Structure 1
Amino acid sequence: MNLMISMAAFALAASISPGPVNVVALSCGAQFGLAASLRHVTGATVGFVLLLVFTGFGLHEVLVRYPMLTDLIRWAGMAFLIYLAWKLAMDDGQLQVGKPTRRPSLLRGAAMQWLNPKAWLAAVAGMGAFVADGEARLIGLFALIYLIVCYLSVACWAYAGAFLGPYLRSSRRIRMFNRSMATLLAGCAVSLLYV
């Protein structure tokens, strides 16, 4: 039971803390509402759990054996986060009435986890801490716990965004919100320098 509590605490700390997936969930919630944002939440959760399982069944060993891959993932992820931050910061805040917008999706949510350096670090650290021997039962238990905790954590960010949505109905407020989100994403990227 203590192992399950420790796994859940680790999953909560890694999943609820600010990061790129959570910032995007917040933004999706603000722009599209909670119901539509749950596609991103589900995709991000499933994407992370798959990454976690693959890490548990051998990817962890590859990354330990070739640490330069971890560095490559971290630098590519940082570049991706800076790119997302730049796109948000440059947004003019105009409401896209009548124009098609990219709604949240399962696939983009899942892909974002695989491009998220925070997710890679959490998967490697979690598997290293709780399932270093690669026991299938423990990998499955950790994945199940993470599935529940990650979904609820990312959903909280989407809910917060949906709560803020009604206050973001002017171009000026949207620009301010987007620039705040861009600052958070850039901060996430910079924080990876110190990992």
Structure 2
Amino acid sequence: MIVTLSYIDIYKLIVKMSLAIILSMFVFSLSMSISPGPVNITILSTSLNHGFIKTFPFISGATIGFVLLLISVGFGFSKIINTYPIIFSLLEFLGAFFIIYIGYKILSSKPEIEVNHNSSIPNFIDGFLLQWLNPKAWIACASGTALFSAQNTNTPLIVFICIYFLICYLSLAIWGALGEKLSIALSNSKRILLFNRLMGFSLIFISIYMIFNIFTVK
């Protein structure tokens, strides 16, 4: 249903809604997308090491992955999660280990100035999977659909998904641009390698914290 919407259809949907609701959707989307998390940290480090262009597939994968997750949660998958909460716990566990994998990729990443062609760059699939295994993404989807769903119509949810797609893409691209700018400040390979260590260990710390929460938070 969403795929067949034209720009005119989306415009008509937006016109029917109040400005306050639209503004709330923008603020929510921006705050969740721009705030630091595993995806943002990965984009920052990858762009610093390999440039914005080579990071763009990961940005695209993360954005498309999140929006498809948002659609799934908004149109019924959340009911399955609520019925079988063990599924969400399993996703959290898998997500923690996937974030460790991404963190290792960053730890072992070499600056582009060293021309290391064997250096692994997170790709479209990595970005897509990271969102589906990222608890922050699930929380954002669940919170957003709860806030902007209506009982008798899908109009607010459809508009919210469209807004989030644009804001998410823009926010992640900003992190990518910031990483490329940082490469100028961190002008030598030793500084960049130190930054890689910091970002990689940050992701691993996040994943350990996630695993700790799985076993301690009831």
TM-score (norm 2): 0.77
- Which structure would you say has the larger Rg? 2
- Aligned Cα root-mean-square deviation (Å): 2.5
Between the aligned partners of 2:24 and 2:193, the Cα distance in structure 1 is: 40
Aligned residues: 194
Matched, 1:36 2:54: yes
Closer, same or farther: CA 134–185 of 1 in aligned 2, 3 Å: farther
- Give CA-to-partner distance per residue, 1:172-194, whole Å, 9 cap, x none: 22321111102331343355437
1:176 aligns with 2:155: no
Q: Is the contact between residue 60 and residue 127 of structure 1 (CA under 8 Å) also seen in structure 2?
A: no
Q: How does 1:69-88 map to 2 (within 5 A)?
A: 69-88=87-106
Correspondences of 1:1-195 after superposition (within 5 Å): 1-89=19-107, 91=108, 93=110, 97=115, 99-103=117-121, 105-131=123-149, 133=151, 135-168=153-186, 170-190=188-208, 192=210, 193=213
- Give a deviation string over 1:136-169, Cα, whole Å, max 9, x none: 3222111111011111111111011000123445
**Aligned partner of 1:160: which letter?**
L
Q: Distance in 2 between matches of 1:80 and 1:104?
A: 12
For 1:26 and 1:83, how far apart are their aligned partners in 2?
Answer: 16
**Alpha-carbon separation, structure 2, partners of 1:66 and 1:48:** 21
Unpaired runs of at least 5, structure 2? 1-18
Partner Cα distance (2:209, 2:150) in 1: 26
Distance (Å, rounded) in 1 between the aligned partners of 2:75 and 2:29: 18
Measure, in 2, the Cα distance between the counterparts of 1:62 and 1:134. 21
Bigger mean CA offset, 9-18 vs 162-171: 162-171
